[in-house]
Structure 1
């Protein structure tokens, strides 16, 4: 029996899911509204990949650690060109007291921590040409990837078909298949559907309750200089990437539900200011430029900063059920063969590959215990269940 799936959205989430499913025998059709893949938040010149931990959120830190370790190891094995990624370290500049508290917390969680991260010291600052008197953490396996190169590599598979210029208007279920209709009156049919279209996930009747905020982000870059520059990703209020394709890329701004597509000089100034403590000479160099290139894109983020990955309820069945009938996880009215991967925010290239691998395992009915823990954490229906005072059920949809 042939396994067919339609995936809406060809950013990092859609391309990753297509990759995992195609490699497990699925015929995948990627439907993209733009004229090419990776045209939204997945189309920036570089994606910094390093683990951003919280001081008092152990569940988030567990999720971050799993995602980071999976994604960096997976990208290393993919066979990308050497110039399209590098994981030789990343620095996160933090206040000294915060960095020390974080180091203590992470030391309890991470075995062989000396191979994973270190507190920044004078030796690290000198080696990586960072301003003196900085504090923070050095992540030994952090780094960066070329987003478009990664997405292009993932969909280079005989089982994957890409169809661009397809703005999906509706998703409907008949007896044994899903029907997707486009704004241009074209129709696509398949037994399975995955919605991976970032902040547009709520445009459909079936998923209109999955609220996300669109965060406008502007990045900037200038051509290579004669300055000695940090050879690894360095993050403070903004980030500064090493020389990639003759560009030094830095950013990014973060404005909620701001849909201005134009480059803003005010945002360029914000990005320049954000790297002042990373590299003063480069900051001065940027300040002296008459014009600086850049790009604007939007990232979809949920209220609790946890992505939506998994399944959603059948709204008709949900409306007929009483709250006490929903108190058991095995009674939840899931829609069959419809899946969601959205709301990855600014950590898309860290979270999305890992989450897409887990989602592929769900679609293939091949979940591990760790997969189940992840899907409990990313349950797209967590808000609806919590509103019904079913908070415990919301985080325990799978037994682990």
Structure 2
């Protein structure tokens, strides 16, 4: 199938240096992908260290939630999962505080989920090396504690510490990290892009990649991107002798990983309308209820014993896929492709217009551990004018211009 003209690639000149805004998972993986290609990278981070916003939870589950019948969405997530596990597998023994591919149990705690998992196994689109069904007894043995149901087991999956992963990614001689540097404006100049910061320092580059979560849409060239923050609260509890000793990641409605530094991390809540960064007892209770449903051995806990936690804001999009690629010129897209309002099959001949040297990598939601590394490779290939690591259908799926096209077709612009 021919690629739509609004997604077609345009020749680019390989840059010597790139500026990245944001040092979370999206920014750190993008910086590393470019640095590995010999490009000098300057990463501007508004916090005093990397991974302090949506990428700041001490542990995150690393696995792909598969569709019974593969879709473009699930193919993208699976490609990302396979790529990041290949990257992380050699680091398990050298960086045990950063990653453990100890497996992931995805429990079938509802009839709906049990039916979905049964269909997935029966259709057999995936190998047993990737995913297998286990009964409750086997799942209990794998987890190391009684579980609430059987489910799917992903033997090559596990957990990652996003902050530790970001630090590792940024430790490269071609990468310069500048913290406490909040970018306020990005302006086009004759030679490229000028970035104005809160402390009045200016930075310039011919190529800029914005990876600053939902705040990315605050920059004028990116106003049209439908990025939205979703509040998530995780809970922490000491791994005391009276609690189960978990050997693998267990997911139900929430997740819990094996203890790290003597502490369990579990959650997470999901709230689109609450923008308060303070911990709430309600979310601690919600996280606890999800945990006990999956692992009854944690029933001895109560909200009084959960004194710590963390609130972060995931950045997501209307279709829950990231926005990765060149930044479209909004007004030009409206002018050139406005006919889509009347005829979605109209054949266009005008090439798409993009801001020269401006790219976006944001909107990874709760799946950043599997989508950020593959997105970074895609973006680095686009910037360096290399063959893409994904088929056109997958790169189109996450293209930032898709939102404009969809709204034109729906007559919403």
1:64-101 deviation line (CA, Å, top 9, x unaligned) = 11111111111224575123211121001123564454
Structure 2: any 5+ residue segments left out of the alignment?
Answer: 1-13, 341-345
Which digits, 9 at most, give the CA deviation of each residue in 1:232-275, with x for residues without a partner? 10011111111111111111111114221211111111111111
- The equivalences for 1:68-107 within 5 A come to 68-77=81-90, 80-94=94-108, 95=110, 98-105=113-120
Query: Distance in 1 between the 2:363 and 2:111 partners?
Result: 31
Higher relative contact order (CA 8 A, sep 6+): 2
The alpha-carbon deviation at position 389 of structure 1 amounts to 2.1
**Deviation (angstroms), 1:369:** 6.3
Provide the residue aligned with 2:247 in structure 1. Answer: 231
> Match of 1:312, SS?
strand
Distance 2:292 2:276 in 1: 26
Give the aligned partner of residue 344 of structure 1.
364
* Whole-Å separation in 2 of the counterparts to 1:340 and 1:90: 31
CA distance in 2, matches of 1:174, 1:377: 31
Q: What is the match of residue 12 of structure 1? A: 25
User: Contact 2:237/2:306 (CA < 8 Å) preserved in 1?
Assistant: no
Distance 1:233-1:316 versus aligned 2 partners, 3 A rule: same
Change in Cα spacing, 1:344 to 1:124, as seen in structure 2 (3 Å) is same
Q: State TM-score, norm by structure 2.
A: 0.87
Aligned counterparts, 1:120-269, within 5 A = 120-121=134-135, 122-131=137-146, 134-226=149-241, 227-269=243-285
CA shift in 2, pair 1:186/1:133, >3 Å: closer
Cα offset for 1:132? Answer: 5.2
User: What does residue range 288-367 of structure 1 map to in structure 2 within 5 Å?
Assistant: 289-318=304-333, 320-321=335-336, 323-324=338-339, 327-328=347-348, 331-367=351-387
Q: Across the two proteins, how many residue pairs are aligned to each other?
A: 389
Structure 2 Cα separation of the partners of residues 47 and 132 of structure 1: 20
Q: Deviations over 1:41-63 (max 9, x none)?
A: 11111011011124567111111
Deviations 1:262-312 (A, max 9, x none): 11111111111111122222232x217444211111100111101101112
- Distance in 2, matches of 1:19 and 1:329, equals 36
Across the aligned residues of Structure 1 and Structure 2, the Cα RMSD in angstroms comes to 2.4
